[in-house]
Chain A
Amino acid sequence: MTTATATLTRIEARLFLRERAGLIWGLAFPAILLIILGALGGKKHDKDLDGLTLAATYVPIVIAFSIAMLALNAMPPVLGSYRERGVLRRMSTTPVPPSRLLAAQVMINVVVAATATVLVLIIGRVAFDVGLPGQAGGFLLALVLTAAGLFGIGLTIAALAPSGKVANAAGAITFFPMMFFAGLWVPRAVMPDVLRHVSDYTPLGAAVQALQDSARGQFPHALHLAVLAGYAVVFGVAATRLFRWE
């Protein structure tokens, strides 16, 4: 059965690469975004950004962007169309359950997100002098919880969407408000207090703050970790309960 899982993951990975969108939006775009913003901000430490450079401010934001792109925009339409077109149903007549296909999809997207994270950290360090995360353990924990929460939400969208097209739309509708609260347009440091409080309770708001805190050497706030864990549990359970194979 291990050969089945390996073959399944390898072939799904090829399909992912053939699709290109996941690679462009999940890997290339976040890296390019950081390069552009880093170049715009230069070496200047901004008082308004808690004394950070623009590049340092945006490192956690583009990491969140990559994870959200993959979990919400790349994965759900694929799974939605697999169900719509009977791919999952066809597989359920074989000895390998279609849940393995889901697992392979999540794994591929997580690997790309991890690659994007490493790439963004390297670009930040090499090109813009952004220090590597001072609290590596906290940073990793925040990353894992963020990925768990976001992929839980993505799987729930895939579970509820009747088709690939609906999954696509639902993913985009969730993506933009989340990225707003992550600070893509207005970083959290310059958000009005009310907005920042709301942001604390959104998956990507909590994620960006937890990543930023651990990048600066502090362990993430319990609140942000709890929010992330909460989303992971709620949507993990929802996806498992709601997922239909046909």
Chain B
Amino acid sequence: MPVIEVTNLRKSYGGNDAVRDVSFSVERGEIFGILGPNGAGKTTTVECLAGLRHADGGQIRVLGLDPQREHDHEQLRQLVGIQLQESQLPDNIQVDEALELYASFYRDPADWRALRDGLGLSSKRTARFGKLSGGQKQRLSIALALVGNPKVAILDELTTGLDPAARRETWDLIEGVRERGVTIVLVTHFMQEAEHLCERVAVIDTGRVVAVDSPAGLVNRVNAEQRLRFYPSADLDDRLLTDLPQVTAVSRHGQQVLVTGTGDVLGAVTSVLARAGIVAEQLRLEQTSLDDAFIALTGQEIS
């Protein structure tokens, strides 16, 4: 049974549909990404999941419970940890105080000291929230989402505003969390993040799911061209390459040969070159990225 199941979710604010039709399911122990441009309805979707907003239509099940029903929602608050966008703590609260406080909210909390040390906050125990850097605040926020020993963690725009190094560190942390058996829903608008972390991704655009697949699956779906660049070790007749069914075009930039094609173009080109006794020097393969796939799926750049 999936851990999370969303069917035909709909939510509008004053006549504007923020979420028109969103369906997906999340399996136990996976990192599931919700990807989409700004204003696509990602945050509204997870807020409905978290029971913070009342859906106008559709069905949600989290761990078999309905977050839209108050009785179920009460149970879910023990089981689901949430890191919200733009949610803060009082400036004057210390790191240890915040952790101790949030731990006291749960029936069966995690050891918050271990969590703090594991997230690299041991040197900041008495630092006030207002004095922490963006990365440290984010780590504390993750710690608070996990302090209740949740079965599901929902993380919204986790690394927005972090520098690249802090972002990488946060990714490592998320993978560590998954290893504890926590199912993770990750809202993001960073392609790289989705590619790096997520087993599967739902692409949401203007309130609808346009695709649910693995990052690689999404790339394959758009079946775009691949590009090969290399320097031939000897003179090369272009026809050798253009005759191949996988190749769509060949061009030259000085000494460099650029081959575009589909399918296993790399295998076809290298074997034909080998037969001709030519070595492809500095061979590079450029593949469609998740970015390209995203643009193909939604017709727009991500941000």
The reply to whether B84 and A93 form a contact with Cβ atoms under 8 Å apart is yes
Given contacts A90-B84, A96-B105, contact A11 B89 (CB under 8 A): no
**How far is it, in angstroms, between the C-alpha of A7 and the C-alpha of B109 when the chains are bound?**
14
The reply to whether B84 and A15 form a contact with Cβ atoms under 8 Å apart is no
Chain B residues, Cβ within 8 Å of A7: 100-101, 104
The reply to whether B77 and A87 form a contact with Cβ atoms under 8 Å apart is no
* In the assembled complex, B148 has its CB within 8 A of some CB on chain A: yes
Given contacts A93-B77, A95-B105, contact A11 B87 (CB under 8 A): no
Query: Which of A3, A4, A14, A86 is close to B88, meaning CB atoms less than 8 Å apart?
Result: A86
A-B interface pairs (CB < 8 A), number:
60
Give the size range of A's interface with the partner: 20 to 34
Query: Which of A82, A93, A94 is close to B90, meaning CB atoms less than 8 Å apart?
Result: A82
Chain A residues, Cβ within 8 Å of B102: 94
The reply to whether B101 and A87 form a contact with Cβ atoms under 8 Å apart is no
* In the assembled complex, B93 has its CB within 8 A of some CB on chain A: yes
Number of chain B residues whose Cβ lies closer than 8 Å to a Cβ of chain A: 25
Query: Which of A14, A18, A86, A95 is close to B78, meaning CB atoms less than 8 Å apart?
Result: A95
**How far is it, in angstroms, between the C-alpha of A14 and the C-alpha of B93 when the chains are bound?**
9
Chain B residues, Cβ within 8 Å of A11: 93, 97, 100-101
The reply to whether A92 and B52 form a contact with Cβ atoms under 8 Å apart is yes
Interface string of A18-54 (1 = CB under 8 A from B): 1100000000000000000000000000000000000
**How far is it, in angstroms, between the C-alpha of A85 and the C-alpha of B84 when the chains are bound?**
12
- Smallest distance from the beta carbon of A236 to chain B beta carbons, Å? 24
In A73-102, the 8 Å CB interface with B consists of: 81-82, 85-87, 89-90, 92-96
Question: B106 — nearest CB in chain A belongs to which residue?
Answer: A95
Interface set of A (CB-CB < 8 Å, partner B): 3-4, 6-8, 11, 14-15, 18-19, 81-82, 85-87, 89-90, 92-96
Interface set of B (CB-CB < 8 Å, partner A): 50, 52, 74, 77-78, 80, 82, 84, 86-90, 92-93, 97, 100-102, 104-107, 144, 148
